[in-house]
């Protein structure tokens, strides 16, 4: 069975600092992995996805994530945080190509300090 764990329900960084949001997954087959972002009072929006091509995936808004099979991790990073990055971030895993099989993590709230 697949599962996903996000370490840290709340992360706070200073503007301009490195953003690192952690995600570990469990899957019995090569997974598809996703990061979604949710801004206040909005739905979720896809940031990036891994589908067994390049292990370093670049997404929108300067975010990227690296798939590390040996560590079963898919951490999200951004070199320099901006105030507009304040949002909830969700890691998700899927063992199949059907979107109905996507399992979401509990989310990490990212706060940006001026």
Partner 1 sequence: ETGVTQTPRHLVMGMTNKKSLKCEQHLGHNAMYWYKQSAKKPLELMFVYNFKEQTENNSVPSRFSPECPNSSHLFLHLHTLQPEDSALYLCASSRLGTSGGAGELFFGEGSRLTVL
Give residues in contact with partner 1 (CB under 8 A): 9, 32, 34, 36, 41-46, 49, 51, 90, 94, 96-100, 102, 104-107
Per the structure block, which two tokens stand in for 44? 């979720």
Residue with smaller CB distance to partner 1, 3 or 80: 3
Residue with smaller CB distance to partner 1, 70 or 98: 98
Q: Is the dihedral of CA 55, 57, 62, 63 positive or negative?
A: negative
Residue pair 8/111 in contact by the 8 Å Cβ criterion: no
Q: Report the nearest approach of partner 1 to the CB of residue 94 (Å).
A: 5
Of 59, 64, 58, residue with least CA distance to 76: 64
Q: Report the nearest approach of partner 1 to the CB of residue 44 (Å).
A: 4
Measured between alpha carbons, how far is 85 from 99 in angstroms, rounded to an integer?
26
Residue with smaller CB distance to partner 1, 17 or 22: 22
């Amino acid at each position: 069975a697949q599962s996903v764990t996000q370490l840290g329900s709340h992360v706070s960084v200073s503007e301009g600092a490195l953003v690192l949001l952690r995600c570990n997954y469990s899957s019995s087959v090569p997974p598809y992995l996703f990061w979604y972002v949710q801004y206040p009072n909005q739905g979720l929006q896809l940031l990036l996805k891994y589908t067994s091509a390049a292990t370093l995936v670049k997404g929108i808004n300067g975010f990227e994530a690296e798939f590390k099979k040996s560590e079963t991790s898919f951490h999200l990073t951004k070199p320099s945080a901006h105030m507009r990055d304040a949002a909830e971030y969700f890691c998700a895993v899927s063992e199949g190509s059907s979107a109905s099989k996507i399992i979401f993590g509990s989310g990490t709230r990212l706060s940006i300090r001026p």
